[in-house]
A and B are shown apart, each in its own frame.
Chain A
């Protein structure tokens, strides 16, 4: 991790992400006004001292709503990545160990997930589980799990057949010991790179879903939802969509930048090979 801090793009990405997380965590404290309070006397106003970024079509303070929205959007993206991580990495590791039947079944299930379109599946899941960002992002998590599954398997496979794993097994080591000691350290770097990249993708998906009004209850602010409202009133406030769009672009860019930096720092995973 220290090496990431010596990587220029990595530092820039971490700074942006840290700023976003701070906004998300401290948002309610920093927000000058309640993001849900409507003011009919001040609809669609431009920036002013009272409203730093103006007001929306219901007279709500845009700056306060962006701060509140950053928390929801980031949490939703994190949820999707966490769900995908667990649902992909665990079967990925087990597929290498539990024999052919488990391997065959999980491979087919993961292939099936790959064929499903994100938005349609998320919409179907919210119809099934109830409309909410948690449900929608759970669905997204399921659909990104094949990436983690593949990456984990690819990294774990050569290790599982290696002589040092065999040597460990010959000392009587149980499977969890071998997994923790020899396999996981080889899998982790690849998983970390994927997680950072997928965090960005998930944020795009959250924004797309909330832009379409899926998984979100109307007063709750999210970046995608605000972008949608701003577009409706483009004639009155032509510059308004820039701010949420910029936030989305910056954050996604930072996630991808972090993924690239991690990949550069880690290089090709060392697993299995050393200089002779």
Chain B
């Protein structure tokens, strides 16, 4: 059992480039990030900030230019081929896709998709464990035989989440909760609450990825703000929300609409943008 403070996921000075030839661009420029056991960390940034690239790199879907990714102290950024597959089969890092319409095979019954990881690992008792996982996310186990197109959007979303608890050992999980126009803030929040319930005591660390600080503020312990491939600010959620230090974070928080109209005025936002441009130039 990992200690509450031991880092499950530790990313140090991570630089990643994508694209080929002349189109190749560095997306992450030396990112540091830590997720400890029992902790939920929010990774916030606008479209194009590198959130998804960071998540994909942690999962071994991108090559690393520089820096390290460690899962439970084990370096995983250089894994290839069979070693990478073995690492993934072990289930130390899992990914919950935000968009279940695309992350579930439309021609496979939900149960088959949920139990896929067990099938890959040739584990016994798949049917019961799939049923347990479906119950855990609040779904009727009878839905296991349905195709994704035959259930509602919310049920699909829960089925996509059930792919994670079906694998018992699950120290760290990366989640993408993003801009998808389909998910309203309400369903997104309920999904986040559902995921928060799946902390499995204090064994699992979770990384929530979103463009919307507001929707993850309620469930995260800490947040890291990603801007143009740099982590510009990180700290306990309450502190970052109440006293943001970086102009981008202030802009992010100030741009969110609030009931009392307490957001930033147009002039203030323009000033923050100017400050950002100044920082980028220097």
Partners in one complex: yes
* A contact set with B: CB distance below 8 Å: 162-164, 166-174, 177, 181-182, 185-186, 270-276
CB pair A163–B103 under 8 Å, yes or no, is: yes
Which of the residues B59, B87, B90, B104 comes within 8 Å of A164, measured between beta carbons?
B104
Given the known interface contacts A185-B107, A186-B107, A272-B106, the answer about A172 and B153 at a Cβ–Cβ threshold of 8 Å is no
CB pair B85–A172 under 8 Å, yes or no, is: yes
Q: In whole angstroms, what is the CA distance A173 to B121 when docked?
A: 8
Listed stretches B2-10, B31-39, B112-120, B186-194; interface member: B112-120
CB pair A172–B88 under 8 Å, yes or no, is: yes
Find chain A residues with CB under 8 A from B116 CB. 167-168, 171, 173, 181
Find chain B residues with CB under 8 A from A167 CB. 95, 97, 103, 113, 116, 163
Q: In whole angstroms, what is the CA distance A20 to B117 when docked?
A: 47
Find chain B residues with CB under 8 A from A166 CB. 61, 103
Chain A minimum-CB-distance residue to B97: A163
Whether B147 sits at the interface, judged by CB under 8 Å, is: yes
Kindly identify, within residues 145 to 190 of chain B, every residue whose CB is under 8 Å from any CB belonging to chain A. 147-149, 153, 163, 182
Closest CB-CB distance, A185 to chain B, in whole Å? Answer: 6
Kindly identify, within residues 53 to 84 of chain B, every residue whose CB is under 8 Å from any CB belonging to chain A. 59, 61
Whether B258 sits at the interface, judged by CB under 8 Å, is: no
CB pair A171–B88 under 8 Å, yes or no, is: yes
Find chain A residues with CB under 8 A from B147 CB. 274
Find chain A residues with CB under 8 A from B95 CB. 167, 170
Interface residues as binary, B84-115 with A (CB distance below 8 Å gives 1, 0 otherwise): 01111111001101010111111110000100
* B contact set with A: CB distance below 8 Å: 59, 61, 85-91, 94-95, 97, 99, 101-108, 113, 116-117, 120-121, 147-149, 153, 163, 182
CB pair A174–B85 under 8 Å, yes or no, is: yes
Find chain B residues with CB under 8 A from A171 CB. 88-89, 91, 116-117, 120-121
Find chain A residues with CB under 8 A from B99 CB. 163
Find chain B residues with CB under 8 A from A274 CB. 101, 106, 147-149
- 17 A-B residue pairs with CB within 8 Å: A166-B61, A168-B120, A170-B88, A170-B94, A170-B95, A171-B88, A171-B89, A171-B116, A171-B120, A171-B121, A172-B85, A172-B87, A174-B85, A271-B106, A274-B149, A276-B153, A276-B182
CB pair A164–B105 under 8 Å, yes or no, is: yes
CB pair B102–A163 under 8 Å, yes or no, is: yes
Instruction: Knowing that A167-B103, A181-B105 touch, tell me 17 more A-B residue pairs with CB under 8 angstroms.
Output: A162-B102, A163-B103, A164-B103, A164-B105, A166-B61, A170-B61, A170-B88, A172-B85, A172-B86, A172-B88, A172-B90, A172-B117, A173-B120, A181-B116, A182-B108, A270-B107, A276-B182
Chain A minimum-CB-distance residue to B106: A274
Q: In whole angstroms, what is the CA distance A182 to B105 when docked?
A: 7
Q: Which of B61, B106, B149 has the most CB of A within 10 A?
A: B106
CB pair A164–B88 under 8 Å, yes or no, is: no
Find chain B residues with CB under 8 A from A272 CB. 106
Closest CB-CB distance, A70 to chain B, in whole Å? Answer: 38
Q: In whole angstroms, what is the CA distance A273 to B86 when docked?
A: 31
Chain B minimum-CB-distance residue to A269: B107
Find chain A residues with CB under 8 A from B97 CB. 163, 167
Closest CB-CB distance, A275 to chain B, in whole Å? Answer: 5
